[in-house]
A and B are shown apart, each in its own frame.
Chain A
Amino acid sequence: MTKSQKKLWIGLFILTLLTPLGVILPEKFKAGGAWGEWGAEELEKLVGYVPEGLKRLSELWKAPAPDYNFGGEGASMTVQVISYIASGLIGILAVALVIYVIARLILKNEK
């Protein structure tokens, strides 16, 4: 690894440690979720019903760590902060792994 690459990885690591800001700031400023990303219950409060198709499709996949949170619904802020950093690390590792696999497959095909 070159010196400048090392610097960039350190930068990304620092960014990972800062990711909890993404859960702390919205809480502090009493901001809700993103527009169009409501859960079924939230949507029912907004429009008075849960669209049929949406209900069906939204149950299709249960992510292992929904919302970058390992503590489940009602997790304390501390758990969410730790979950965020852990998710960031898992995310970096996962994407790097996928990229290296893709790169390897591409470069191997070359020969």
Chain B
Amino acid sequence: MHIPDGYLSPQTYVPLYGASLAFWAIALKKLKKELSVKHIPYLAMAAAFSFLIMMFNVPIPGGTTGHAVGAGIIAILLGPWTAVIAVSVSLIIQAIVFGDGGITAIGANCFNMAVVMPFVSYWVFKLIRGNAVGGARLSIAAFLSGYVGLSIAAIATGFEFGIQPLIASGADGRPLYAPYPLSVALPAMALEHMLSFSIVEGVVTVLLFKYFAKHESGLVYALKVKEA
């Protein structure tokens, strides 16, 4: 889901840089208010986890590959605003050092995976969890949090790909950037995630959630904060 350089027109990547910048500014402000020294290692571990989990390319036999992002479980454990920072840092290093995602697309990729995803995941978790304090309902909430979060992020990415032919084409009528129209890009991104990679994300989210709920329940942000 890491959009490379060249797939997005400036009309798309500039506004998305703006959107991500706005979220980074707010997230840093919130972090400044709430961050205590003892939480810094968890923030670093969250960013490291997100970096690593994205390296696990899951193959669709004979087809494409994709991966989990980890933004959902990070949002549940440390809060959505902290997840914005942790996942963004990981995405920026991936783009600069490893060419995974473009430099011009850093804003877009952070918006999809480090803003849309953690917030959607967090809301889904809160919504499904309701007032439950344990049991299967929490596990279902965690699974769907990861599943829906990654799927919506993929749909956002597919949308950004798909609007490119509408935005810019050359004198010969050919698209200047991502060439596939919405009718191809949107279902391609949505379906491969909903049928495969989002399930992986859901499983990762529920397993980690169970571990932390059992061993470090004091840490779990979504279980202690009343309102988001």
Contact = CB atoms under 8 A, between A and B. Distances in A.
Nearest to B192: A35
Contacts of B215: 4
Interface string B164-178: 000010100011111
Given A63-B98, A99-B89, A15 B49 contact: yes
Interface residues of A, number: 64
Interface residues of B, number: 71
B79 to A, nearest CB: 15
Contacts of A32: 63-65
Contacts of B86: 99
A97 to B, nearest CB: 9
B103 to A, nearest CB: 4
Contacts of B93: 91, 94-95, 98
Interface in A60-111: 60-68, 84, 87-88, 90-92, 94-96, 98-100, 102-103, 106-107, 109-110
A11 to B, nearest CB: 9
Interface in B67-109: 67, 85-86, 89-90, 92-100, 102-104
A48 to B, nearest CB: 9
Nearest to A90: B97
B52 interface: yes
A68 B62 contact: no
Contacts of A26: 57, 59, 65
Interface in A7-33: 8-9, 12, 15-16, 18-19, 21-23, 25-26, 28-33
Contact of B48 (A12, A65, A103): A12
Interface of B: 1-7, 9, 28, 31-32, 35, 37, 40-45, 47-49, 51-53, 55-67, 85-86, 89-90, 92-100, 102-104, 157, 161, 168, 170, 174-180, 185, 188-189, 192, 215-216
Given A32-B64, A47-B179, 10 more contacts: A22-B56, A34-B67, A36-B4, A49-B174, A53-B176, A55-B6, A57-B104, A60-B5, A96-B44, A107-B35
